C-alpha cells in the first residue's frame, strides 16, 4: 500500500489533548480536521433519542441506514467540531459525560464501526486531513505517513478534562470524571474490534507535563523532517 504523505493521524486515550492539538495542526497546515469521535458520539446520541436498545446489535444495525452525519469545521481553535445529524445541529448535545460513555459503548458494535470507518475514509480520500480518534492510524488510515500516538498520566488527563468542563460552566464531580476516564480507557483498549492502540509505525508522545504548544511543535517538526 503506497504511503499517503498528506494524511496525519493522532490517536490516544480520552483527555490527552488530541482534539486541541489536531485542530491546531490542521489549522497550521490548512488541512481538514476529522474528529472521528464526534461521529461515534452522533450515533450514540441518535440511538438514545430513538430509544434503540444498544445491546441489541441487530436493531442497531437495522437503523444505521437512517443516519446521516455531517461534520462542520470547528469555529475556532478552542471549539469542538460541529456535528449535523440528519439535518439537525447536535453540536452542543454530544459533549456530555453521558454521550461520552454511550459513544464508547456503540463503538464496540461491528456494523457501527464499518459504517463510520467507511465515512471517514471517504472524507480522507483526497488527503490533506488530520484525523484523530482511537484507530485512525491502525484501521482507518493505515497508509498514513505521519502517525502519532499521544498518551499522558491518567491523573493529568482527568485534571485537564475537569478544567475544560469548568470552562463551560458545567458542575463537575472530580471523582466521577476520573472513574469515567478510567472506564473508557479500559473499554476502548480491551474491545476486540479496532481497540485503542499505538500503530507500530506511530510516534509515541507522552504529553504529561508538556504544553499544547510543545506537543504541536514536536509533531510539526516530525512531519517536516
Ligand atoms: O474522542 P472521543 O472522546 O470524542 O470519542 C468518544 C468515544 O468514541 C470513545 O470513547 C471511543 C469511540 N471512538 C472509537 O471507538 N474510535 C474512534 N476512532 C474514535 C472514537
Retrieve residue 107's grid coordinates.
Answer: 463503538
CA distance 91 to 89: 6
Q: What is the pLDDT of residue 81?
A: 85
Nearest alpha carbon, ligand 1 atom 11: 104
Round to whole Å and give the CA distance between 69 and 72: 10
Residue 109 pLDDT = 96
Give the residue carrying C-alpha cell 448535545: 93
Cβ atoms within 10 Å of 181's Cβ, excluding its own: 23
CA 14–ligand 1 middle distance (angstroms): 8
Q: Whose CA is nearest to atom 1 of ligand 1?
A: 37
CB distance 150 to 99 below 8 Å: no
Per-residue pLDDT of the chain (225 residues; tens, 9 = 90+): 778 889 999 999 998 999 999 999 999 999 999 999 999 999 999 999 999 999 999 999 999 999 999 999 877 777 788 999 999 999 999 998 899 999 999 999 999 999 999 999 999 998 999 999 999 999 999 999 999 999 999 999 999 989 888 887 888 899 999 999 999 999 999 999 999 999 999 999 999 999 999 999 999 999 998
- Residue 200 CA, ligand 1 centroid: distance in Å: 20
Kindly list the structural domains of the chain, giving each domain's residue range(s) and its CATH number in brackets, ordered by start. Answer: 4-215 (3.40.50.300)
pTM: 0.95
CB–CB of 8/129 below 8 Å?
Answer: yes
Dist CA 25 CA 8 (whole Å): 9
pLDDT attached to residue 108 = 95
Q: Whose CA is nearest to atom 2 of ligand 1?
A: 37
Instruction: Tell me the chain's radius of gyration from C-alpha atoms.
Output: 17
The pLDDT assigned to 131 comes to: 98
C-alpha 168 chain-centroid distance? 20
Please report the pLDDT score of residue 82 as a whole number: 92
**Cβ-based neighbours of 45, under 8 Å, separated by 6 or more:** 85, 90, 93, 94, 99, 102
Q: Is the CB of 45 under 6 A from ligand 1?
A: no
pLDDT of residue 111: 96
The pLDDT, as a whole number, for residue 170 is 80
Amino acid at each position: 500500500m503506497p504511503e499517503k504523505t498528506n494524511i496525519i493521524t493522532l490517536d490516544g486515550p480520552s483527555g490527552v489533548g488530541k482534539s486541541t492539538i489536531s485542530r491546531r495542526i490542521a489549522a497550521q497546515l490548512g488541512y481538514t480536521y476529522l474528529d472521528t469521535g464526534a461521529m461515534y458520539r452522533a450515533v450514540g446520541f441518535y440511538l438514545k433519542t430513538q430509544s434503540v436498545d444498544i445491546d441489541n446489535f441487530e436493531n442497531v444495525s437495522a437503523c444505521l441506514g437512517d443516519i446521516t452525519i455531517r461534520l462542520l469545521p470547528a469555529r475556532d481553535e478552542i471549539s469542538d467540531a460541529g456535528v449535523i445529524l440528519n439535518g439537525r445541529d447536535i453540536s452542543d448535545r454530544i459533549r456530555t459525560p453521558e454521550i461520552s460513555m454511550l459513544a464508547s459503548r456503540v463503538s464496540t458494535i461491528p456494523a457501527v464501526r464499518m459504517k463510520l470507518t467507511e465515512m471517514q475514509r471517504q472524507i480522507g480520500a483526497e488527503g490533506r486531513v488530520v484525523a484523530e480518534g482511537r484507530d485512525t492510524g491502525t484501521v482507518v488510515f493505515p497508509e498514513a505517513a505521519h502517525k502519532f500516538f499521544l498518551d499522558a498520566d491518567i491523573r493529568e488527563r482527568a485534571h485537564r478534562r475537569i478544567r475544560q468542563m469548568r470552562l463551560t460552566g458545567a458542575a463537575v464531580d472530580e471523582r466521577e470524571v476520573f472513574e469515567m476516564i478510567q472506564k473508557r480507557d479500559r473499554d476502548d483498549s480491551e474491545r476486540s474490534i479496532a481497540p485503542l492502540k499505538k500503530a507500530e509505525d506511530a510516534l509515541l508522545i507522552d504529553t504529561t507535563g508538556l504544553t499544547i504548544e510543545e506537543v504541536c511543535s514536536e509533531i510539526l517538526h516530525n512531519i517536516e523532517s
